[in-house]
A and B are shown apart, each in its own frame.
Chain A
Amino acid sequence: MPQHAYSATAMDTTPSLPEVEHQQAHFPEGLTLECGQALECFALAYRTYGALNAARSNAILICHALTGDQYVAEPQPVTGKPGWWDTLVGPGLTIDTNRFFVICSNVLGGCMGSTGPRSTRPDGSIWGTDFPPITMRDMVRAQEMLVRRLGIERLFAVVGGSMGGMQVLEWAASFPQKVFAAVPIATAAYHSAQNIAFNEVSRQAIFADPDFAGGRYWAQGKIPARGLAVARMMAHITYLSEEALTRKFGRKTRAVGTDAEAASFFGEVFEVESYLRHQGSSFVRRFDANSYLTVTRAMDWFDLAAEHDGNLSAAFAGTKTRFCLVSFTSDWLFPTAQSRSIARALNRAAANVSFVEIDTDRGHDAFLLDEPDFHRTLAGFLSGCAEHAGIS
Chain B
Amino acid sequence: MRVDLRLIASLIEPGSRVLDIGSGDGTLIEHLFRTRGCDARGLEIDMAEVTHSVAHGLPVMQGDADNDLTQYPDGAFDYVVLTRTLQAVERPREVLKQMLRIGTRALVSFPNFGHWQVRWQLMRTGRMPVTATWSRAWYETPNIHPCTILDFRELCAQEGYAVEQWLAIDEAGRKSPWRRSLTLANMFGEQALFLMRRA
User: A100 CB to closest chain B CB, in angstroms?
Assistant: 15
Instruction: For the complex, count residues of A whose C-beta is within 8 A of B.
Output: 27
List chain B residues, Cβ under 8 A from A353: 41, 59, 61
Q: Is the CB of B71 within 8 A of A347?
A: yes
Q: Which 3 A-B pairs have the closest CB atoms?
A: A384-B57, A380-B55, A355-B61
User: B63 CB to closest chain A CB, in angstroms?
Assistant: 8
Q: A5 an interface residue at 8 Å Cβ cutoff? A: no
Contact string against A for B residues 49-79, beta-carbon threshold 8 Å, 1 for contact and 0 otherwise: 0110111111111110000100111001000
List chain A residues, Cβ under 8 A from B68: 344, 347
Q: B171 an interface residue at 8 Å Cβ cutoff? A: no
User: A347 CB to closest chain B CB, in angstroms?
Assistant: 4
Q: Is the CB of A373 within 8 A of B71?
A: no
- Number of cross-chain contacts by CB at 8 Å: 67
> Considering the chains assembled together, what is the distance between the CA atoms of A82 and B54 in angstroms?
29
Q: A379 an interface residue at 8 Å Cβ cutoff? A: yes
> Considering the chains assembled together, what is the distance between the CA atoms of A357 and B57 in angstroms?
16
Q: Is the CB of A356 within 8 A of B47?
A: yes
User: B19 CB to closest chain A CB, in angstroms?
Assistant: 10
Q: A248 an interface residue at 8 Å Cβ cutoff? A: no
Which applies to chain B's interface (DSSP): helix, strand, loop or mixed? mixed
Of the residues B60, B61, B72, contact of A348 by C-beta under 8 Å: B72
CB within 8 Å of A: which of B8-53?
A: 39, 41, 47, 50-51, 53
Q: A383 an interface residue at 8 Å Cβ cutoff? A: yes
> Considering the chains assembled together, what is the distance between the CA atoms of A349 and B73 in angstroms?
7
Q: Is the CB of B54 within 8 A of A380?
A: yes
> Which residue, B39, B41, B61, has most C-beta atoms of chain A within 10 A?
B61
Other 9 A-B pairs with CB < 8 A, given A356-B50, A387-B57 = A343-B63, A347-B68, A347-B71, A352-B59, A356-B47, A358-B51, A379-B55, A380-B55, A383-B57
Q: A344-B71, A350-B76, A352-B39 are in contact. Are A381 and B57 (CB under 8 A)?
A: yes
Of the residues A325, A343, A350, A373, contact of B51 by C-beta under 8 Å: A373
List chain A residues, Cβ under 8 A from B57: 380-381, 383-385, 387
Of the residues B39, B61, B73, contact of A354 by C-beta under 8 Å: B61
> Considering the chains assembled together, what is the distance between the CA atoms of A130 and B192 in angstroms?
71
Of the residues B39, B54, B72, contact of A381 by C-beta under 8 Å: B54
11 cross-chain CB contacts under 8 A: A347-B71, A348-B72, A354-B50, A356-B51, A373-B51, A377-B55, A379-B55, A380-B57, A384-B59, A385-B57, A387-B57
